[in-house]
Amino acid sequence: MSGLELYIKDEEAMTQLGHALAQQSAGHGVIFLQGDLGAGKTTLSRGILRGLGHTGAVKSPTFTLVEPYEIGPLRAWHFDLYRLADPEELEYLGIRDYFADDDLCLIEWPQQGQGYLPQPDLEITIKTHNDGRIVRLLPNSTRGESWCVALATLT
């Protein structure tokens, strides 16, 4: 499957998509989130984390680069690499450790970390369209493919 393109009309629908992605991923894998400032990357990440059962706030990790979450037995890491000056900095942050245990890694602005990030299971690109968003889901592993196949049957 070559991917999915969905029209997501508002923030509520974006949250629902996050819940569906949470259910599919079951808290494992690497997801890239791409799109302009304000596209909805953090909104979708919040939906995914809440869908996994996180009940607290989901802040944008713009200044911290990464925000950790413990959700029952699951761990998730939410990155925002917008302010990363040089991808090499990820080496000093011990970036490899984050990906070692097959936790869920949500990465906003992955292009800022090019060369230092693993291959994603799923690449999400969000674009403004009318009052809503076009969300493109591009699988990049067999796992990502199975998520997309399942999501296609929901929509």
Ligand X SMILES: Nc1ncnc2c1ncn2[C@@H]1O[C@H](COP(=O)(O)OP(=O)(O)OP(=O)(O)O)[C@@H](O)[C@H]1O
Residue 35 lies near ligand X (rule: CB under 6 A): yes
Question: Which window, 9-17, 84-92, 93-101, 139-147, contacts ligand X (CB under 6 A)?
Answer: 9-17
**Which residues neighbour 136 within 8 Å (Cβ) at sequence distance 6 or greater?**
3, 4, 5, 6, 124, 125, 126, 127
Question: Taking the complex as a whole, how short is the minimal distance between the CB of residue 129 and Mg ion, in angstroms?
Answer: 18
Question: Which window, 34-42, 49-57, 67-75, 137-145, contacts ligand X (CB under 6 A)?
Answer: 34-42
**Which residues neighbour 91 within 8 Å (Cβ) at sequence distance 6 or greater?**
116
Tell me the C-alpha distance between 120 and 28, whole Å.
11
Residue 8 lies near ligand X (rule: CB under 6 A): yes
Chain Cα centroid distance, residue 46: 9
Residues that bind Mg ion (CB under 5 A): 41-42, 60, 108
The 8-class DSSP code of residue 76 comes to: E
Residue 49 lies near ligand X (rule: CB under 6 A): no
93 CB burial (10 A radius; 0-12, 13-18, 19+): middle
**x/- letters, 56..95, toward ligand X (CB under 6 A):** ----x-------------------x-x-------------
The residue whose Cβ lies closest to Mg ion is 42
Residue 5 lies near ligand X (rule: CB under 6 A): no
# binding residues, ligand X (CB under 6 A) = 19
Question: Taking the complex as a whole, how short is the minimal distance between the CB of residue 31 and Mg ion, in angstroms?
Answer: 13
Q: Is 104 helix (H, G, I), strand (E, B) or coil?
A: strand
